[in-house]
Structure 1
Amino acid sequence: MTMANVAPDTTEAGPASGGGPPGAGPPSPRRRFGDRIGSVEVLAALLVLLVVFRAPLSTAISSPRLQTWTTVFVSVMVQAVPFLVFGVVLSAVIAVFVPRSFWARALPKHPALAVPVASAAGVVLPGCECGAVPIAGSLIRRGVTPAAALAFLLAAPAINPIVLASTAVAFPNNPEMVVARGLASIVVAMIMGWLWLRLGRADWIRLPHRPEHDGMSRGRAFWAAVRHDVVHAGGFLVLGAMAAACINVLVPERWLQLVADNPFLSVLVLALLAVLLSICSEADAFVAASLSQFSLTSRLVFLVVGPMVDLKLVSMQAGVFGRRFAFRFAPATFAVAVVVAVAVGVVLL
């Protein structure tokens, strides 16, 4: 037995330990001020700082630029949060209470036919790309052909009812955006699935052993899934709303208009912006709607690329499927998504 496993003898309390009745053990140490800084101390310090610097803070808050930033940020958050929460809850219900083996039984045996069926199956999964990545990995583990699982991975975050409903709310005067987004997204998913059947290699995918909610009750697993998705998706939503507000405030209007007036440059810029912002698919329509300087086709590219290729999604794919897969699959998906979205936008918008 190591010394670390031996409990200290406390049967005797000498003068050094403060004395006390025999056998009572040493008295509990008194907490001294400064031993630990908790939330109460942090809150008190913040309140003191607010009182001390109230004059410069009030001047900064009254700035028209900051008021504009706050208005854009709050409007994006207020519109997007209900869809985000509803989507996270429903995604957790499906992930916990619906057996994953159901998807393997529901798909056709022929890989080429399984790809469009798996793409359409994304309609019944109200969730974002954060939940679609581990589900796609589980499908492959359960024997589903990788092409079908990858098609599901790309389609589910973009064509489920929550995302399409949020798109309709964000673009009330352009209902054709809902049709264009759904059509372009499912076409991209099927093309990438068929491309994987043609060009993909099994050794590019390396699935690590990652037990999910093993040994947990359904109730605990449900709340664990909800907390995980809310923390991840909600955090990226806040960052996306802040970025949208910064673009509207910090970037000069003439710059945005200059980019928006160039059809090719506007498509490329919004495609790259979708990758960088990494906004959850339940909320990206509200950010796209705020970029009113750009054409509907450019914003459609933003909506199609975002749920399929963004920074958080590429990192999650690298963690679930391996880096060799992510570094090949993400650029190909980006190129196909841009081309298909532009084609659909030219026809429908």
Structure 2
Amino acid sequence: MHFVSEMTTAAWTLLEQSSLYILFGLLIGGLLKMVLSPAYVAAHLGKGRFKPVFKAALLGVPIPLCSCGVLPAAAQLKRQGANNGATTAFLVSTPESGVDSIAVSWALLDPLMTVARPVAAFCSAFVAGVMENLLDPNANRQPMRILPMASAPAAACAGTECGCGHEHPTLPAAGWGQKLGQGVRYAVTDIWGDLAGWFFVGIAVAACITVFIPDDLITRHLGGGIGSMLLMLLIGIPLYVCATAATPIAASLILKGVSPGAALVFLLAGPATNVAALAVLVKILGKRGVAVYLASVSVVSVLCGLLLDGLYMSLGISAAATIGEVAEFVPHWLMTGAAVVLLLLSLPLISRWFSLKGCRLA
């Protein structure tokens, strides 16, 4: 019972510290969905080895999708004309970051890690995309033409004088209030629906690490250096964990003595790769593309981890000492209220999530 009490306390503390920022991140993510459609993104990701990759890596950073959720979006981008390099960059940066994970990083980690995480995600995505285009003999071919949806020709050019001969009904423009409502619904049902189950699994794993794993064991094997980075790669690459769920795990590991660089490797490699997603990636990018994808994520993650450790050392900052400091400025009643709201929003989603997992295992 003593261990159960400690785990419950640790899990609730993490939930309180992160809930307000998760709600904020979900709101921003829902609004992004309203203004950034895959068709708009794909229009900028066609021909070229560098510019489309830069755009794809940059646009993928704030979008809150996990490594499996990003697959259909990336496949659609490629069908709409994005080249392999841009598709690869989008596949890397999107699951490694997101407004929700950035917000929860601010709550559970520290400002330096919060900034380093999306920057490292962009760098790994850009390198992966450029390498894919440089090694792809078909990279400079004209991408496939982006076609309008056949089921709605009128809607595609409504309100325009396109000369196609169709009658174009005038579609009412959605106001900002309606868009906000749509964004909130999308954030709660779709974004958080995909993340809720894994987030609470991450909270539970973080609580177990806090209670059961001795500090000296982690410090001895993951205290820093390239060896700890490679070990984090071995753990993170096959593991399925979304960027938001990985954050409390990383916070608990840092508190136990893991170097911030090793934690960053886990935060990048874990969300960007998993065994289930790799099988689908072969169909999207091909075997060579997947090899470039894995190599780029691995190498850039380790390099960014080593640079981050060096930065902390040069600044004389202890990552463990600064973990969760931002949350101390938020009133406790507000953190508790946000945790209760998040739990209420999550109960039907978690029930559905476990039902789906049970059906897949049956």
Q: TM-score normalized by structure 1? A: 0.64
The residue aligned with 1:21 is none
Hey, what does 2:220 align to over in structure 1? 258
Cα shift readout 1:303-344 (whole Å, capped 9, x = no counterpart): 2222312345436646x7378478635532442243332343
> CA offsets per residue over residues 218-250 of structure 1, 9 Å max, x none?
999996885354343222222222222223333
The alignment of Structure 1 onto Structure 2 pairs a total of residues equal to 273
CA drift of 1:253 comes to: 3.4
Q: Residue 178 of structure 1: which of 100, 106, 114 is its match?
A: 114
Partner of 1:77: 15
Is the contact made by 1:304 and 1:341 (CA closer than 8 Å) also made in structure 2?
no
The higher-RCO structure (CA 8 Å, 6+ apart) is: 2
CA distance in 1, matches of 2:294, 2:46: 28
Tell me which residue corresponds to 1:328. 291
Change (3 A) 1:283 1:222: same
Aligned: 1:190 with 2:133: no
Change (3 A) 1:159 1:240: closer
Using the alignment, how far apart are the partners of 1:105 and 1:237 within structure 2? 33
Structure 2 CA distance for aligned equivalents of residues 128 and 82 of structure 1: 20
Whole-angstrom CA distance in 1 between matches of 2:206 and 2:276: 18
Shift of 1:148: 0.7
2:163 is matched with: none
Any conservation in 1 of the 2:127–2:296 contact (CA below 8 Å)? no
Kindly name which structure, 1 or 2, has the bigger radius of gyration based on alpha carbons: 1
What's the counterpart of residue 41 of structure 2?
Answer: 103
Q: CA RMSD in A?
A: 3.7
Task: Call closer, same or farther: CA 1:146–1:261 in 2, change over 3 Å.
Answer: closer
Q: Distance in 2 between matches of 1:223 and 1:201?
A: 43
Map 1:68-147; keep pairs closer than 5 Å. Answer: 68-84=6-22, 87-88=25-26, 90-91=28-29, 94-95=32-33, 98-107=36-45, 109-147=47-85
Q: Which amino acid aligns with 2:295?
A: A
Contact 2:67-2:271 at 8 Å conserved across structures: yes
Is 2:165 aligned against 1:227? no
* Structure 1 gap segments, 5+ residues each: 1-62, 203-213
Number of the residue aligned with 2:201: 239
Q: Which residue type is aligned with residue 288 of structure 1?
A: A
Say yes or no: does 1:307 pair with 2:243: no
State the SS of the aligned residue for 1:101: helix
Please say if residues 236 and 266 of structure 2, whose CA atoms lie closer than 8 Å, have aligned partners that are also in contact: yes
Which shows bigger deviation, 123-132 or 140-149? 123-132
CA distance in 2, matches of 1:89, 1:125: 12
Q: Deviations over 1:273-328 (max 9, x none)?
A: 3345533213422321111111121112222222312345436646x737847863
Q: Do the aligned partners of residues 142 and 235 (structure 1) sit closer, same or farther apart at CA in structure 2, a change above 3 Å counting? A: same
Matched to 2:200, the amino acid is V
For residues 211 and 275 of structure 2, what CA distance do their matches in structure 1 show? 24
Aligned to 2:258: 294
Could you say if the C-alpha distance between residues 80 and 284 of structure 1 is closer, same or farther in structure 2, counting changes exceeding 3 Å? Answer: farther
Structure 1 residues 124, 262: closer, same or farther in 2, change over 3 A? closer
Partner of 2:146: none
Alpha-carbon displacement from aligned partner over 1:162-216 (angstroms, at most 9, x marks no partner):
33332222223xx2222322222211111100111123477xxxxxxxxxxx99x
1:285 equivalent among 236, 247, 252: 247
Q: Call closer, same or farther: CA 1:147–1:275 in 2, change over 3 Å.
A: same
Write out per-residue CA displacement over residues 48-69 of structure 1, whole angstroms, 9 at most, x where no aligned residue.
Answer: xxxxxxxxxxxxxxx3222222
Q: Which sections of structure 2, spanning at least 5 residues, go unmatched?
A: 139-150, 153-178, 313-362
* 1:272 counterpart = 2:234: yes
Q: In structure 1, what residue type is equivalent to 2:266?
A: F
1:341 maps onto 2:332 in alignment: no
Q: Do the aligned partners of residues 239 and 162 (structure 1) sit closer, same or farther apart at CA in structure 2, a change above 3 Å counting? A: closer
Q: How does 1:194-209 map to 2 (within 5 A)?
A: 194-200=130-136
Following the alignment from structure 2 to structure 1, what is the Cα–Cα distance between the partners of residues 18 and 293?
Answer: 26
